[in-house]
Amino acid sequence: MVAAATAVDGGAKVIVLEKMAMIGGNTARSEGNMSAMDPEPEKLLPMTPAVRDIVKKYTDQKPCTKEVAQLQQTVKDQLKAHNAAGKKYIFDSPELFALQTLEGGDCHNDPKLVLTMTRNATAAMEWLEKQSDMKWYHVPRYWVDVGIGGIYPRGQWPRHADGKTPISTYDAYISPLADKVTKAGGHIYTQMKVMQIVRGKDGRVTGVIAVDKNGKNQAFNGKNVILAAGGYGANLKMVKKYNNINVIATSNQPGTTGEVLEEAVKVGAGLTGMKWIQIHPHGNPKNGELESAIAGRPSDTPYVNVNGDRFVDETGRRDDISHGILAQPGQVVYAIFDQKTIDQKKVRDDLMQIALGHGYAYKADNLNDLAKAAGINQAEFAKTMAAYNEASRTQNTKSLPVPKILIGMPVDKASFYCVPITTTIHHTMGGLRINEKTQVLDTKGHVIPGLYAAGKITGGIHGGNRLGRNALTDLLVFGHIAGMQVSPKP
C-alpha cells in the first residue's frame, strides 16, 4: 500500500490486488513500531553508560566484513564528534543503525540495501505521518528501552493526533494510504489471488493473472508490477523446505503463504537468504500469537524459567532469546513486570485485562503469589528477583548470573504480572533478490524489466536475524522507493 500510495502521488494509475477479504496483511496485524533516527535528536534522553556499552559492543566486535569494519570506524568517529561537541543526548546515526542491522544479521545481509534503509528511515517515517493525522511517539525521548530484539533505543510508535493515544496499525499504515489510492482513481480488489506473473518474450513483465472469489481467472496488464505479497511464515511446507525448524506455531496472518514469491522464481527471479527464518520469543504458548504488546519492555522485564532462574539477556538479539527459550524446561518461560509498567503505559492496561481474562497472563499482589500462580519455583524465583532488583537499583548487572546490557526499573511495585511466552515462527528473512531501486534481479543479478518488489517478499535486508521494528522500516523505505520508480513524475 505504501508503494501504491507513492505511485499515485507520482501520477501513476494503480491497481492493488489482495487475496484476502481484507487489506492490510501482517502490517495491519503488527504493533506498528518502527525503527528510525529521531528527526529532532536533541530531544532524546541523555546517553547512559549502558547505551554507550551497546554502541561499544557493535563498534568493537570482530568485523564480519570489510563494509562492517568501515562502518565501525565511521561510527567511532561520529561518536567522538558527538562527545566533543558536548552533546549529552543519545547518539544515533544511519551508520550505527546499519552497523547494528548488519552485525545483528550476522552479515548475511546486503550492505547496500541496509544503508538504503537506514539512510531513508527518518524520511519514510515523516512521510507516513503526513498521510493522515497520526503522530509518532518518539520512545527514546521518554524512556530508554530497545524493544524486543531491537537492540538500540530507536523505537517509534504510531499514535493518534494527540501524540499519546494508541492508534490501530490499520489506521496508521493502511487505511489513509488505501483512501489515497482510491481517491486518485486507483482500484483495490480483495479476494483476488495472484496466481501467475506474465513475462513477455522481450523479457519484460507485463502483468499478472489472478483468480477472483468465484474462481474465475482475471488478467491484469500494466507497465510495471510491484510484488508486495509478504513472506511465507504461515506456509509450513515452504518453511520446512528451507529450514527444518522445530517450531510450528506462527504469529503471521494466514495469507502469508509465499506463492507470489514462487511465481516470481518461475519468471526468472533470484532468491537470497531463504534459510533464514526468525522465531520470535514472544509467542503465546497456547496459540502462537504474538504477545509483545503485553510482555513488558525488555529492559524492565526479567524472563525466568519454571525453575525461577533467568537464562538470557532480555535486551539482546531475538535469535539468542528464542534459542535460549528452546533450551529451557518445557520451552516456556515467564516475562515478569510490575504495576509501574502499566502506570507508565509501557503496556496498555486494556490489553492486559483482556490477556488476564483469557488466562494468557497472571497477576498477584506479591512476587511469591505470582510465582505460585504461574507454577514457578518460589524459593529460587525470590532469590533471582532479589538479585535482579538490586542490579537494577545499582545499575550494575555484571554480578548477575546472567548479565543484562540495559537494565531498567526494579520489579518492586504491586501489582505484579507474569506473561508466559514461547517461540513462534515470525519473519522469513529470505526472499527475492532486489537492488537499491527495488528492481527484481534474476539468478545472475540482472534486472528483470518491469518487475519490482518491496517488504517481506524480498531478501537481503535482514540477513540471518531481523532486528525488532526493522520490518516496518523496510517496507516503508522500499515500498516508497518502488512507488517512485514506477511513477511518471517521481
Ligand X SMILES: Cc1cc2nc3c(=O)[nH]c(=O)nc-3n(C[C@H](O)[C@H](O)[C@H](O)COP(=O)(O)OP(=O)(O)OC[C@H]3O[C@@H](n4cnc5c(N)ncnc54)[C@H](O)[C@@H]3O)c2cc1C
3-state secondary structure of 406: coil
Residue with smaller CB distance to ligand X, 154 or 469: 469
CB of 409 to ligand X, least distance (A): 22
Q: How far apart are CA 238 and CA 22, in angstroms?
A: 24
CA distances in angstroms from 321 to 276, 318, 332, 334, 465, listed in the order given: 16, 5, 12, 12, 12
Residue with smaller CB distance to ligand X, 312 or 477: 477
Residue with smaller CB distance to ligand X, 29 or 204: 29
CB of 102 to ligand X, least distance (A): 17
Residue with smaller CB distance to ligand X, 116 or 252: 252
Q: How far apart are CA 311 and CA 321, in angstroms?
A: 9
CB of 202 to ligand X, least distance (A): 25
Distant-in-sequence contacts of 309-312, Cβ < 8 A, 24+ apart:
309/380, 309/384, 309/401, 310/384, 310/388, 310/400, 310/401, 310/402, 311/402, 312/402
Pairing, β 333-338 against β 416-428: antiparallel
Tracing cell 538479539 back to the chain, one arrives at: 317
Residue with smaller CB distance to ligand X, 252 or 322: 252
CB of 290 to ligand X, least distance (A): 4
Residue type, 36: A
CB of 385 to ligand X, least distance (A): 28
- Helix boundaries (H) for 360-427: 367-374, 378-394
Residue with smaller CB distance to ligand X, 79 or 482: 482
Backbone angles phi, psi at 148, to 5 degrees: -75, 110
Closest CA to 89 of 131, 120, 44, 156: 44
CB of 135 to ligand X, least distance (A): 17
Q: Which residues bind ligand X (CB under 6 A)?
A: 17-20, 25-27, 29-34, 193-194, 228-230, 251-252, 255-256, 259-260, 290, 427, 455-457, 469-472, 475
CB of 50 to ligand X, least distance (A): 23
Residue with smaller CB distance to ligand X, 385 or 440: 440
